[in-house]
Amino acid sequence: MKALFAILLGMSVVAAATLSCDPVHSDAVSDLGPEANGVRTGPTHRPGQPCLVCHGGSGPGSPQWAVAGTGYLDEVGDSPLVGGTVTITDSTGSERALGTNEAGNFYISTDDWQPVYPLHVKLQSGDQTIQMTSRINGDGSCADCHLGHTGQATSNQVPAVYLNSVDGGAPP
């Protein structure tokens, strides 16, 4: 009887795990592909990718980010914006200034901030500042809309988060 109970309990645990599995999320994580050669998991990995696929609460990344992305020098998206500042202001006026690291990545955890949407964003480096003209309405994963390279942009996605146009002018 104990053996049968153990088997049934094991089967119910497997069934519960299977039912709680989200194949759409699993596919999104798989679609990110492997880590880049020589880049360890951490603050500088996966620049330009949608951070909240893994750090959005469904895993596998930890901690959970409220807002995260990658800044670039220009819309080509090949040169990270190192030492820049991304200032995010939520609808209550609460503001956070996030620094960009050596990969251009910036992020803030849900433990440190629970922004109220919509959000407004400003990107700065030195004496250059650019304000994002649209607002973020509900997803703090910047690469869900902004792609790392101009050639990847579609009608639903815009170029990378960038400070300068390749011709030297400010982004539109």
Q: Which domain holds residue 137?
A: 44-164
pTM over 0.75: yes
List pLDDT tens digits, range 25-37: 888 888 888 888 8
pLDDT tens sequence across 91-142: 999 999 999 999 999 999 999 999 999 999 999 999 999 999 889 998 899 9
Please give the pLDDT value at position 6: 40
Distance of alpha carbon 38 from alpha carbon 3, whole angstroms:
48
Could you tell me what percent of the chain has a pLDDT over 70? 78
Q: What CATH number corresponds to the domain at position 110? A: 2.60.40
Q: Is residue 20 part of a domain?
A: no
User: What residue spans of 35-160 are helical by DSSP H?
Assistant: 52-55
- Report the DSSP beta bridge partners of residue 164: 74
| In a domain? residue 9 | no
Residue count (the chain): 172
15 lies in a domain? no
Q: Report the sign of the C-alpha dihedral through residues 51, 55, 61, 64, in that order.
A: positive
Q: Give residue 49's Cα distance to chain centre.
A: 6
pLDDT tens-digit readout, 37-93: 888 889 999 998 999 999 998 989 899 999 999 999 887 778 999 999 999 999 999
Q: Is residue 21 part of a domain?
A: no
